[in-house]
A and B are shown apart, each in its own frame.
Chain A
Amino acid sequence: KQEVTQIPAALSVPEGENLVLNCSFTDSAIYNLQWFRQDPGKGLTSLLLIQSSQREQTSGRLNASLDKSSGRSTLYIAASQPGDSATYLCAVPMEYGNKLVFGAGTILRVKS
């Protein structure tokens, strides 16, 4: 059974800091890994999708890495801004087209 863990559960940083969010999964036989952002009471916005054959993906100030063999992924946010405040979730499907298994998320607060 796939289990996804995210550390830390919550993070508060001053504006401008670079930060790293961590995601670990127990079964390395994943097809890809997605990072999502969720604002309070809202739906999920896809940030980055990394294929199992890739090591990292970048979008603007965001960079996600994937190490399948160790069962870990990190989301790096550069020069954080108050608008980055949200919950960040990682999720993995076990197979193509399969259900997503989510972590509980990291609640990020960026203080101005």
Chain B
Amino acid sequence: DAGVTQSPTHLIKTRGQQVTLRCSPKSGHDTVSWYQQALGQGPQFIFQYYEEEERQRGNFPDRFSGHQFPNYSSELNVNALLLGDSALYLCASSLDGYEQYFGPGTRLTVT
């Protein structure tokens, strides 16, 4: 049974560019949450998707957007990248929000 998978593992972007990160949830899970983790800090909640709709949103600007597909996989899009967007982006899946299982993360570096 595959766990939560994320792609890509690493990527480097330039300020002002746009990026798309992808997440496939654990089999049987229907809810996907995205978190941003800066170096030395705990993860910060970005948003959560359930039944293809954004159910909750954290304190992140509109430059951060997402999508959930009918197969429950999800994308995180970040526009107009800033240096401060450099972080580890974590995807977590759960069955209707119960115990969350995390993927390996995508390391984004903005130069």
User: Which residues of chain A have a CB within 8 Å of any CB of chain B?
Assistant: 4, 32, 34, 36, 41-46, 49, 89, 91, 93, 96-105
Contact = CB atoms under 8 A, between A and B. Distances in A.
A11 to B, nearest CB: 15
B31 interface: yes
A32 B94 CA distance: 14
Which 10 A-B residue pairings sit nearest by Cβ, starting from the closest? A97-B97, A102-B42, A99-B45, A44-B102, A43-B104, A43-B102, A43-B105, A104-B42, A102-B43, A49-B99
A100 B105 contact: no
Main secondary structure of the interface of A (DSSP, over half): strand
B95 to A, nearest CB: 10
A34 B58 CA distance: 19
A41 B37 CA distance: 10
B33 interface: yes
Contacts, number: 64
A52 B108 CA distance: 35
Contact of B104 (A42, A96, A100): A42
B102 A96 contact: no
Given A43-B90, A104-B42, A105-B42, A97 B98 contact: yes
A43 B106 CA distance: 9
A97 B45 contact: no
Bin the interface of chain B by size: 20 to 34
A100 B58 CA distance: 10
Main secondary structure of the interface of B (DSSP, over half): strand
A104 B39 CA distance: 10
Given A34-B100, A36-B102, A41-B88, A104 B56 contact: no
B74 interface: no
B44 to A, nearest CB: 8
Contacts of A101: 45
23 contacts: A32-B99, A34-B100, A36-B102, A41-B105, A42-B105, A44-B43, A44-B90, A49-B99, A91-B43, A96-B98, A97-B55, A97-B94, A97-B96, A98-B56, A99-B48, A99-B56, A100-B33, A100-B35, A100-B43, A102-B42, A102-B44, A104-B41, A105-B42
